[in-house]
Amino acid sequence: MSLLPQLKRRHFLIGSAGGLVGAAAGLPAMAQEGAALPDYVAWKDADDLIVHSMQTLETRRGAIGSGLVTPSEDLYIRNNLPAPPEEIVADRDAWEIAIEGVAEPQTMTLGALKTLGVETVACVLQCSGNGRAFFDHETSGTQWSVGAAGNVIWTGVPVRDLVAAMGGVSDGMDWMTGTGGEEIPDGVPAETIQVERSVPRAAMEQAILAWDMNGTALPLAHGGPLRLVIPGYYGVNNVKYLKRLAFTAQESPSKIQQTGYRVRPVGEKGDPSQPSMFEMSVKSWITGPLEEAGTGKVQIHGVAMGGTAALEKVEVSVDGGANWTVAQFLGPDMGPYAWRPFVLITELGQGTHMLASRASTVDGQVQPEMFEPNERGYGHNGWHDHAVDLTVG
């Protein structure tokens, strides 16, 4: 395969309104078109995924379509560490988790957790760096376009039920801290690589400990047998292979908490005084058509999310933002943390059209046109960079 068609295809996949901006931002040295899937996710749909690296796989923009739920085979992968061995899902109900910072702390099996309560929630899972490829400045980290996100159905025990069964949260514990079960190699100080994240305690109201994803037992690659799922929060907070859930007075001392996932100006280092990647923002993007279309009526579709609030509307522009039309939501509303597919059927003349979408929430948040650059390229939700150039004719 020659490089040229790869780049060309990438450009279209990214669909940047700014022409080659996406590709110029260092895109695809690693990203491989049609690359084989790593063994641990061999069950995924290779046609619908971009393999950035062994630990980072992105859903293709076109594959997102107007899907209400992201099939597990298409869901992105972003692992901070290699997954634990397959053995941990051999006897799922035997998995143990320590609950701390409550009146009656205890270590429980997953089997026992299942008797405390259960809830099913649909929510967007999205990497903090989704949209990183759209920034102009050079960023390290995976050059995600739009596909480090999916709408997923999770089933598990509500953390509030768990806490109630253990006498409530202890006084002064302002943080909810989840610790992942990835193996830490001998000689490596745990806090330098361990996936341990703290979120404000209030997040426990919507958090669940999930054992099931999209109706089947949570795959190892997505954090099975047990994952902390915090609807409305960026992916990194949704700790996989959860082995400890602790209510703590301080944020975790782990690097991933203290200096990682901190939003700061370009060129600055991360530190705990900066905002952490907790709650997600209102966002939307078009998923089709992405390249070319015939003249006449065309169905423009995409997905929109409110972050932590329900969506009010999504508007679509076919002229780069000069005029906007309210699009139609597609399918049932699955709650404030889920995404909603949308569609606008409209007529387009010959030429190139810049298709953009802009979502708003019921509490007045609106997707901005531009998004301020930040060192690590987190949280991009600017509608201009997410627009698509469509050639009709």
241-300: which residues touch a copy of itself (CB under 8 A)? 296-299
Query: For 208-310, where are the E strands, in sequence order?
Result: 208-213, 216-217, 227-229, 242-248, 283-288, 292-293, 296-305
Q: Return the residue of 167, 335, 351, 393 that touches a copy of itself, per CB under 8 A.
A: 335
Least distance to a copy of itself from the beta carbon of 158, Å?
11
Residue 240, CA atoms < 13 Å, CB-side half-sphere: 24
The reply on whether position 390 binds a copy of itself by CB under 8 A is no
Q: Which is nearer to a copy of itself, 51 or 122 (CB)?
A: 122
Beta strands 175-180 and 96-100, pairing class: unpaired
Site map (CB under 8 A) of a copy of itself, residues 309-328, x = contact: -------------------x
CB burial of residue 256 (10 Å; 0-12, 13-18, 19+): buried
Residue 100 and residue 247 in contact, taking contact as beta carbons nearer than 8 Å: yes
Residue with tokens 């061999």: 42
Structure tokens at 54: 């062994």
Stretch that binds a copy of itself, among 63-71, 80-88, 141-149, 354-362 (CB under 8 A): 63-71
What is the DSSP annotation of 334-381? --TTSEEEEEEEEEE-SEEEEEEEEEEETTS-B--SS----TT-----
The reply on whether position 172 binds a copy of itself by CB under 8 A is no
Q: Which is nearer to a copy of itself, 122 or 236 (CB)?
A: 122
Site map (CB under 8 A) of a copy of itself, residues 115-134, x = contact: xxxxxxxx------------
Distances (CA, A) of 145 to 130, 134, 285: 6, 7, 10
The reply on whether position 333 binds a copy of itself by CB under 8 A is yes
Site map (CB under 8 A) of a copy of itself, residues 336-375, x = contact: --x--x-x-x------------------------------
Q: Return the residue of 167, 275, 331, 393 that touches a copy of itself, per CB under 8 A.
A: 331
What is the DSSP annotation of 172-211? T--EEEEEE-PPPPTTS-HHHH--EEEEEGGGGGT-EEEE
What is the DSSP annotation of 73-102? GG--EE-SSPPPPGGGGTTGGG-EEEEESB
The residue among 222, 213, 206, 76 whose CA lies nearest residue 153 is: 213
Least distance to a copy of itself from the beta carbon of 104, Å?
17
Q: Return the residue of 16, 56, 59, 72 that touches a copy of itself, per CB under 8 A.
A: 72
Q: Which is nearer to a copy of itself, 335 or 351 (CB)?
A: 335
Q: Which is nearer to a copy of itself, 131 or 341 (CB)?
A: 341
Site map (CB under 8 A) of a copy of itself, residues 98-117, x = contact: ----------------xxxx
Least distance to a copy of itself from the beta carbon of 334, Å?
4
Count of positions (residues) in the chain = 393
The reply on whether position 62 binds a copy of itself by CB under 8 A is no
The reply on whether position 75 binds a copy of itself by CB under 8 A is no
Torsion of CA 327, 371, 54, 213, to 10 degrees: -40
The reply on whether position 37 binds a copy of itself by CB under 8 A is no
Stretch that binds a copy of itself, among 26-34, 59-67, 201-209, 381-389 (CB under 8 A): 59-67
| Residue numbers at the binding site for a copy of itself (CB under 8 A) | 65-72, 74, 114-122, 153, 155, 212, 214-216, 296-299, 301, 328, 330-335, 338, 341, 343, 345
